[in-house]
Amino acid sequence: MKKILCVSLILLTHWASGQDKTIRIATRNISLVYGINREGRLVQQYFGQQLQPQQADALANGKQEAYVTAGMESLLDPAIRMVHNDGNPSLELKYDTHTSSKNSDDITVTTVTMKDPAYPVTVILHFEAYYKEDIIKAWTEISHSEKKPVLLTAYASSMLHLKADKYWLTQFHGDWAKEVDMPEQYLTAGMKILDSKLGVRANMLQSPLFLLSLDHPAEEESGEVLAGTLAWTGNFKFGFEVDEHNSLHINAGINPYASDYTLKPNEVFTTPAFIFTLSAKGKGAASRSFHRWALDYGILDGHAPRLTLLNNWEATGMDFNEQKLTSLFGGAKKLGVDLFLLDDGWFANKFPRNADNAGLGDWEHNTSKLPHGLGYLVTEAEKQGVKFGIWLEPEMVNPKSELYTKHPDWVLRLPNRAENYFRQQMVLDLTNPAVQDFVYGVVDKTMSENPGIAYIKWDCNRMLTNTWSPYLKEKQSHLFIEYTRSLYKVLDRVRAKYPHLPIMLCSGGGGRTDYGALKYFTEFWPSDNTDGLDRIYIQYGYSHFFPANTIAAHVTNWGHQSLKFRTDVAMMGKLGYDIKVDDFTDKELQFSQDAVTTYKRISDIVWHGNLYRLISPYKENRAVFQYTSDDQQKTVIFSYLMNISKNDVFTPVKLQGLDPQKNYRIKEINLFPDTHSSYHFDKVYSGDFLMKEGLQLVAGRRSLSSNILEITAE
């Protein structure tokens, strides 16, 4: 009896101490608080803006289980589902321990360990809170020590619970050449899912990004909005479940579709990071939080210079030779860009790469087109004063290739059905270590034999369909996960040997736009659509999560706008050209040379400044963007009139982020030769005036016209 009483007292003491535990993940403006309930389970007490005094959030009485398990009493879509050795499909997670430590003045790392009292299963929730940037990263580790493997059929990175009167969800949906359209919808009771099942080039239709407005649709600089993304270059799933009490529950992680995972004893299953911020000052503040975080932590060499370039694709396609290419080097020199990029079509001999139906996988230079090899082109480019870059698509193979002939077992394809082609190509089985060695070897051999190569465009032009892995055999349900893990293994090897080589992440346009990949890349190709008007919408969409120096933007002949309009749009990103320079008129060449010089002068503000999307192209037949330096000394305004009508009424544009006490002078830049500004900003304006009264930015009222203004404090 005494022993039972003693045990009871110990359990009561443990429960009481659990009730005193408050686990707080906090940034400058956000607070996420967990506690332990009577059953010893972790619950989310509070998620919202920082309350005053600092500990006031501990008084919140949220009771929702933090990481809902399947097979128990919850009616919600679970964050995790596990089937044990004995066939039991339930999991109960009780709080065990937690730790919190500061990695730096900016980053606080928190872990919460939970265990199942009936099975030897451990789940650890990880959090990194970036104080200055107002960003939280959350991911999960799952492990067990049962005698045999267990089956995981759901494994979210994180789960969040919100309570508001209403919810509006903005997704980033599209297709080739019309990426990241931004439909917004009111969430009603039930489940809304944003996901991808494409495996490779997973973001082709749906980008792993969302905005969630609370109570009413958020505006650019007002309203409460949650912005979230998943750092994973594969299948993803965001589940938004509004329950019978009008509470919203968000599950974020890898899409478990066709991906039941057999977890071996003592193996650790680590989910990708769910990265999010909560803004009380609209979508713009959320974007600026992501931009600051990305530049410091999320992308490769975020504060390093980026290379302007001239690409040959629009000028030549795959129809070129050494003479044609070297003649284009002079165009790069004339423009004043840093680099010439040789695109697709330079490789393969037995099955020459003259079209997209042959050659992928055979990564030796084509001796008919390039008899002296890539090294010759590197040298010739350097003679012209420009660097040289190269296009690769090392994960893919054409059936019409020597690689396919030699290694049919290296290809992802169903063994008993007709092969399925997209763009005449198939995907290599990157889960196979031999294929990983091959893909790494493509990069390493290209660089080792031609050490002057200064840039790589890494393409990936098809998704997974009709897929089966010869290497994985009976573990086909691991394929989607293992492919992405294997890609990261290859990229880890590339970056170990070439840590700062600039590499563009290209995937037929925006097929790979995520922070899982961007830690290996300096920029991404947002869309094959380079029409200046369409690009305003596309770059507007991506700007909600990615800073300007990651968004590659090229001047091409796509579209019916002026060269100035197309150039102005491209200067809002990482500027490049894909155009035949010799076709320029004298004035077009002069304008483009001046534009490159101007861009290099203002690029630091565009890349690293604070972005204010002053006028949305979705709301008016114009768009206005403002980039402002941290010290508020310099601002650059990009203003576009789109297809306007006589009934359009354009009010003055109120600037943001300036110092109200400072005086500013305004000058229009990037003018076409022999033209003059239509604006007459010949006065000095206070920051207070510019933010409260604004500027009238519709000089001329001409459709498809653009202006760039440079505003400098005096």
pLDDT tens digit sequence for 438-447: 999 999 999 9
- Number of other residues whose CB lies within 10 A of the CB of residue 674: 8
Examine the fold and report which residue of 559, 580, 608 is the final residue of a domain before the chain moves on.
608
At residue 514, does pLDDT exceed 90? yes
Q: Are residues 582 and 521 in the same domain?
A: yes
Q: Are residues 520 and 667 in the same domain?
A: no
Q: What is the token pair recorded at 102? A: 């500061």
Residue type, 609: G
| DSSP labels, 558-600 | -SSS-HHHHHHHHTTSEEEE-S-GGGS-HHHHHHHHHHHHHHH
Q: Are residues 543 and 423 in the same domain?
A: yes
At residue 10, does pLDDT exceed 80? no
Strand 387-392 with 339-342, pairing = parallel
High-pLDDT (> 70) share of the chain, %: 97
Q: Are residues 590 and 621 in the same domain?
A: no
Domain with 55, as residue range(s), is 23-298
Which residues, 6 or more positions from 433, have their beta carbon under 8 angstroms from its beta carbon?
A: none
Selecting among 134, 362, 429, 459, the annotated active-site residue is 459
DSSP β-bridge partners for residue 635:
628, 711
Read off the pTM: 0.96
Which residue, 411, 408, 405, 404, is CA-closest to 429? 411
At residue 14, does pLDDT exceed 50? no
Q: Are residues 377 and 432 in the same domain?
A: yes
At residue 428, does pLDDT exceed 70? yes
* Contact (Cβ atoms closer than 8 angstroms) between residue 180 and residue 541: yes
Cis peptide before 415 (omega within 30 of 0): no
- Does some domain include residue 70? yes
Confidence class of residue 20 from pLDDT cuts 50, 70 and 90?
A: low
Q: Are residues 615 and 604 in the same domain?
A: no
Q: What is the tally of structural domains in the chain?
A: 3
* Contact (Cβ atoms closer than 8 angstroms) between residue 278 and residue 224: yes
Q: What is the token pair recorded at 598? A: 């101007």
Q: Are residues 641 and 593 in the same domain?
A: no
508 vs 204: CA distance, rounded Å:
8
Which residue, 667, 713, 659, 655, is CA-closest to 687? 659
Examine the fold and report which residue of 608, 632, 649 is the final residue of a domain before the chain moves on.
608
- Does some domain include residue 1? no
List the CATH number of the domain containing 490: 3.20.20.70
Selecting among 106, 260, 356, 528, the annotated active-site residue is 528
Binding-site residue positions: 176, 343-344, 423, 457-461, 506, 528
Q: Are residues 599 and 631 in the same domain?
A: no
Q: Are residues 563 and 587 in the same domain?
A: yes
Examine the fold and report which residue of 608, 636, 666 is the final residue of a domain before the chain moves on.
608
Query: What burial class does residue 688 get, using C-beta atoms within 10 Å of its C-beta: 0-12 exposed, 13-18 middle, 19+ buried?
Result: middle
- Does some domain include residue 153? yes
Confidence class of residue 7 from pLDDT cuts 50, 70 and 90?
A: very low
Binding-site residue positions for substrate: 176, 343-344, 423, 457-461, 506, 528
Query: How much is the average pLDDT of 610-636?
Result: 98
Q: What is the pLDDT of residues 349-368, one digit of tens each?
A: 999 999 999 999 999 999 99
Confidence class of residue 4 from pLDDT cuts 50, 70 and 90?
A: very low
Residues comprising the chain, all counted? 714
List the CATH number of the domain containing 649: 2.60.40.1180
Kindly provide the residue ranges of all beta strands, DSSP E only, lying in 325-370, ordered along the sequence: 339-342
| 459 carries an active-site annotation | yes
- Does some domain include residue 476? yes
* Contact (Cβ atoms closer than 8 angstroms) between residue 342 and residue 387: no
- Does some domain include residue 354? yes
- Does some domain include residue 14? no
| DSSP labels, 108-134 | EEEEEEEE-SSS-EEEEEEEEEETTTT
At residue 15, does pLDDT exceed 70? no
From residue 42, alpha-carbon distances to 47, 67, 98, 112, 537 in Å are 14, 8, 11, 9, 42
| 319 carries an active-site annotation | no
- Does some domain include residue 4? no
- Does some domain include residue 382? yes
Q: Are residues 643 and 520 in the same domain?
A: no
At residue 16, does pLDDT exceed 70? no
Q: Are residues 582 and 615 in the same domain?
A: no
Kindly provide the residue ranges of all beta strands, DSSP E only, lying in 103-223, ordered along the sequence: 107-115, 121-130, 135-144, 150-163, 167-173, 184-186, 190-195, 206-214
Q: Are residues 637 and 551 in the same domain?
A: no
210 vs 573: CA distance, rounded Å:
21
